[in-house]
Structure 1
């Protein structure tokens, strides 16, 4: 157990950040799945810009690695471009 007040505060802050990061990551994954199920090109294009922004924010906050974000964006863009 922590011995200092500052250590106790750190534990509380880290837990709050962990939950917030989990929420952001889960929300982004949900939108990615929604984009993959979309067959309408215009709807997919709108979703792609939203998901791209979400992935960039995750990478900026170091929740995911920047290369992972780039890989996801690339694959999603290829999928949207393949829609007729």
Structure 2
């Protein structure tokens, strides 16, 4: 266990931030899953900007890596383009 007051505070902050980051990362994963499950192209095109914005925000705040966000967006765009 930590001995310093600042270390105790750091533990509390880390726990709070971890919960916050985990919530947003999970929300993003669910949105990506939902988009990948869609078979209607019009609906997918409508949902894509929302997911793209979410990925960009998470990458900007370092919740996910920027390259991971780019990779997911690329894969989703490919998925949408293959829909007929």
Confirm or deny a common fold (TM above 0.5): yes
1:75 is paired with a residue whose SS is helix
Aligned length: 84
Distance 1:42 1:79 in 2: 13
- Which residue pairs with 1:35 in the alignment? 35
What is the alpha-carbon distance in structure 1 between the residues aligned to residue 23 and residue 46 of structure 2?
Answer: 22
Aligned to 2:22: 22
> What TM-score does the superposition give when structure 2 sets the normalisation length?
0.92
Aligned to 2:51: 51
Q: Which stretch of structure 1 is more off in the superposition, 24-33 or 1-10?
A: 1-10
Q: Could you tell me the TM-score, scaled by structure 1's length?
A: 0.92
Unaligned segments of structure 2, at least 5 residues: none
Q: Which residue of 2 aligns with 1:77?
A: 77
Structure 1 regions of 5+ residues with no counterpart?
none
Aligned residue in 2 for 1:12: 12
In the alignment, the residues of structure 1 paired with residue 38 and residue 47 of structure 2 have an alpha-carbon distance, to the nearest angstrom, of: 9
